[in-house]
Chain A
Amino acid sequence: MAGVELKSIVKAYGAVQVVHGIDLDVQEKEFVVLVGPSGCGKSTTLRMIAGLEEISDGELTIDGRVVNNVAPKDRDVAMVFQNYALYPHLNVAENIAFGLRIRKEGQKAIDDAVEEVSGILGLRDYLERRPADLSGGQRQRVAMGRAIVRRPKVFLFDEPLSNLDAKLRTQMRAEIKRLHKRLGVTSIYVTHDQVEAMTLADRIVVMHDGRIEQIGTPMELFLNPVNSFVAGFLGAPPMNQIKGKIVAGSNGPAADLGGQHIALAPLPGLQNAVGREVIVGVRPEYAQIVTEKQDGAIMGELDLVETLGSEALLHMSVGGAPFVIRTETLGNINKLEAVKGFTAAPELIKVFDAKTGMALSGQTRVE
């Protein structure tokens, strides 16, 4: 097993720089997820780690060895591709064994390895089949089998579940998690799906426009995003963000949201901030519904109720800004249509500078 270290890694295509000097230290056996919107540089970063893209500047280290100029085959990393990239002319067993054959392993060692890996991934009944005869989930397993059979130092996953339907994606996500627990191989996983990032990662790296916005555990990022981008990216539905202004409330700082005041926690970042333009962030699950006007509540207009079974999403308009509340249906089902606003605990409200987007409020503790 090995760690992976990126020091000021830059990727440029001619004059166009797409990755701007990122630093990342992936620990041995860690599962790190690179997440971000399309074009943020996450796949390019992964491909630089794989050796499929040249590194324009900076230093990449795998297991303590600088590998900037080392060919992919000599980096001892394995990659699972978005489109599986299974060789269509080979059957499952041959696909899994391909890397071992290239490395001229003995037939006995190959047979044993294929037997073991196909057992781990539940592929023993499909060894003679061609990729075209497999379902999407089975193909994904074969792709993983091809990666793990070589026992590489690092696994790289490039959006491996994005071609699967929602149900299969959930199932395969769990399988990847189990596999990582079992094998303990350092893994770097790229996705634009924040649910995958939250469920799989030991640490998440949020990327935007070729830069790292924040690195942390899923709950650190969820509770304490460093800026409004991270706050808006993680969480489903994402954090509500309403423009406002800091005012002095009766019991401490508050934010004026178009004439309505919402109380904020008396945190250091908000001292002497009266009059400052801010973005107030409230997670949909931290907003409590109210059905009639009350002190401290922010009132709005209910546009739509989406009932999901155990919970419902209430789409509201607060001072013209969209606002989503996630609430349990149990005990609330009869009053969902009557919701007129929300309240939120001050310590769970995030405040960001309106110009820079950086967080002003303090840390919410992960407990």
Chain B
Amino acid sequence: MTNMNLYSRGDKMFVILNMVLIALFTLSTLYPFIYIASLSMSTGFEARAGNVILTPVGFTLEAYKQVLSEPQFWNSYKNTFIYTIGGTLMSLAFIIPGAYALSRPQLYGRRFWNLMVAFTMWFHAGMIPFFLNMRDLGLLDSYFGIIIGFAVNGFNIILLRNFFEGIPQSFEEAARMDGANEFQVLWKVYLPLSKPAIATVALFCVVSRWNGFFWAMVLLQDDSKIPLQVYLRKVIADLSDDEEFATSLLNAAYSFETVSAAIIVCSIIPILLIYPFLQKYFSKGILLGGVKE
């Protein structure tokens, strides 16, 4: 077989341009990770001097020792897990039945309810009314407030609803003929058939909860309840303004830059660990609802 020239000059140029752009995009995405990891493993002096560019300079794990020996770090880590796991479970508990109900042709006022859910995707009450609402409900400074307050997301409901709508109706009818009630149809037929969609929605929830920063900062005053992201912000904000602390670090093996970087690395490790296993669902989920299989 000879290698036939199937591509024109323009095609080749297009492919090369694509590869260059993808390489640049990959680098721009990857570099912050590499930089932060290198920073966290460099000495405080080199970090402050701005000598860290690609690899650790004066390799040391002192910043990690400092971070891991701080009880507040572990407490925030625990809080983040609570908000992530509790919040994701709570979200699924609302989103799945909601999406199922909206996918049922027999739902009374179905168009209206769908519109109401979609409405929330574009219009929000705003920060102050939401804060006042949470305050009046007694949900400030509470684990439950963070978990329940952001449990329902219109986008995820519509995503899952579209998937449910794509499941042939005959499965439901067969289950009903077999004696299943509405809940059993959902639990025993629709949920097992919707694993990829549910995994996608769960992943969206996990990522959003894990990275959740703003509302936790607004709603939580009690340091013992703040998640990792708020703790990180606190470390950066507090220590960077603390001249005494900065002076004490002059000859230390770590600095607030390396400590902050170490916290960031610690905070992204769980997501990095689970992402490869869920990546297929994640990319599949982006297409959900766009194409009926």
Residues on A facing B (Cβ under 8 Å): 50-52, 71-73, 77-79, 81-83, 85-90, 98-99, 102-103, 146, 150
Given A81, A88, A99, which contacts B193 in the complex, CB threshold below 8 Å? A88
Question: Which A residues are in CB contact (< 8 Å) with B173?
Answer: 50, 52, 72, 79, 81, 85
Per-residue CB contact flags for chain B residues 172-209 toward chain A (1 = under 8 Å, else 0) read 01111111110010001100110000000000000000
Complex Cα spacing A51 to B171, Å = 15
Complex Cα spacing A52 to B193, Å = 21
Question: Which B residues are in CB contact (< 8 Å) with A78?
Answer: 177
Question: Which A residues are in CB contact (< 8 Å) with B180?
Answer: 73, 102
Contact A52 B179 (CB under 8 A): no
Question: Which B residues are in CB contact (< 8 Å) with A86?
Answer: 174
Complex Cα spacing A205 to B214, Å = 68
Q: What residue of chain A has the Cβ atom nearest to residue B170's Cβ? A: A85
Known: A83-B168, A88-B193, A89-B192. A77 touches B178 (CB 8 A): no
Q: What residue of chain B has the Cβ atom nearest to residue A90's Cβ? A: B192
Interface residues of chain B: helix, strand, loop or mixed (majority): helix
Contact A102 B179 (CB under 8 A): yes
Contact B193 A73 (CB under 8 A): no
Known: A87-B189, A88-B193, A89-B192. A79 touches B174 (CB 8 A): yes
Question: 29 A-B Cβ contacts within 8 A?
Answer: A50-B173, A51-B176, A52-B173, A52-B176, A52-B177, A71-B176, A73-B176, A73-B177, A73-B178, A73-B181, A77-B177, A78-B177, A79-B173, A81-B173, A81-B174, A82-B170, A83-B170, A85-B170, A85-B173, A86-B174, A89-B192, A89-B193, A98-B175, A99-B178, A102-B175, A102-B179, A103-B179, A146-B174, A150-B179
Contact B168 A79 (CB under 8 A): no
Question: Which A residues are in CB contact (< 8 Å) with B184?
Answer: 102
- Taking CB atoms and an 8 Å cut-off, the chain B residues in 138-196 that contact chain A are 168, 170-171, 173-181, 184, 188-189, 192-193
Interface residues of chain A: helix, strand, loop or mixed (majority): loop
Contact A72 B176 (CB under 8 A): yes
Complex Cα spacing A72 to B185, Å = 13
Contact B189 A50 (CB under 8 A): no
Question: Which B residues are in CB contact (< 8 Å) with A82?
Answer: 170
Known: A88-B193, A89-B193, A102-B184. A50 touches B171 (CB 8 A): no
Complex Cα spacing A78 to B192, Å = 23
Q: How far is the CB of A71 from chain B (nearest CB, A)?
A: 8
Q: What residue of chain B has the Cβ atom nearest to residue A78's Cβ? A: B177
Contact A87 B177 (CB under 8 A): no
Q: Which 7 A/B pairs are nearest by Cβ-Cβ distance?
A: A99-B178, A85-B174, A85-B170, A73-B179, A89-B192, A102-B179, A79-B177
Complex Cα spacing A83 to B176, Å = 16
Question: Which B residues are in CB contact (< 8 Å) with A98?
Answer: 175, 178, 188
Question: Which B residues are in CB contact (< 8 Å) with A71?
Answer: 176
Contact A50 B177 (CB under 8 A): yes
Question: Which B residues are in CB contact (< 8 Å) with A90?
Answer: 192
Task: Knowing that A52-B173, A88-B193, A150-B179 touch, tell me 13 more A-B residue pairs with CB under 8 angstroms.
Answer: A73-B176, A73-B178, A73-B179, A79-B177, A81-B174, A85-B168, A87-B175, A87-B189, A89-B193, A98-B178, A102-B178, A146-B178, A150-B178
Q: Residue among A52, A86, A90 with the most chain B CB within 10 A?
A: A52
Complex Cα spacing A89 to B196, Å = 13
Question: Which A residues are in CB contact (< 8 Å) with B170?
Answer: 81-83, 85
Q: What residue of chain A has the Cβ atom nearest to residue B106's Cβ? A: A54
Contact A85 B171 (CB under 8 A): yes
Question: Which A residues are in CB contact (< 8 Å) with B178?
Answer: 73, 98-99, 102, 146, 150
Q: How far is the CB of B169 from chain A (nearest CB, A)?
A: 9
Q: What residue of chain A has the Cβ atom nearest to residue B184's Cβ? A: A102
Complex Cα spacing A150 to B177, Å = 11
Question: Which A residues are in CB contact (< 8 Å) with B188?
Answer: 98, 102
Question: Which B residues are in CB contact (< 8 Å) with A79?
Answer: 173-174, 177
Per-residue CB contact flags for chain B residues 26-45 toward chain A (1 = under 8 Å, else 0) read 00000000000000000000
Q: What residue of chain A has the Cβ atom nearest to residue B176's Cβ? A: A72
Q: What residue of chain A has the Cβ atom nearest to residue B192's Cβ? A: A89
Question: Which B residues are in CB contact (< 8 Å) with A89?
Answer: 192-193
Question: Which B residues are in CB contact (< 8 Å) with A52?
Answer: 173, 176-177
Q: What residue of chain A has the Cβ atom nearest to residue B191's Cβ? A: A89
Question: Which A residues are in CB contact (< 8 Å) with B181?
Answer: 73
Complex Cα spacing A193 to B139, Å = 65
Q: How far is the CB of B122 from chain A (nearest CB, A)?
A: 33
Contact B179 A99 (CB under 8 A): yes
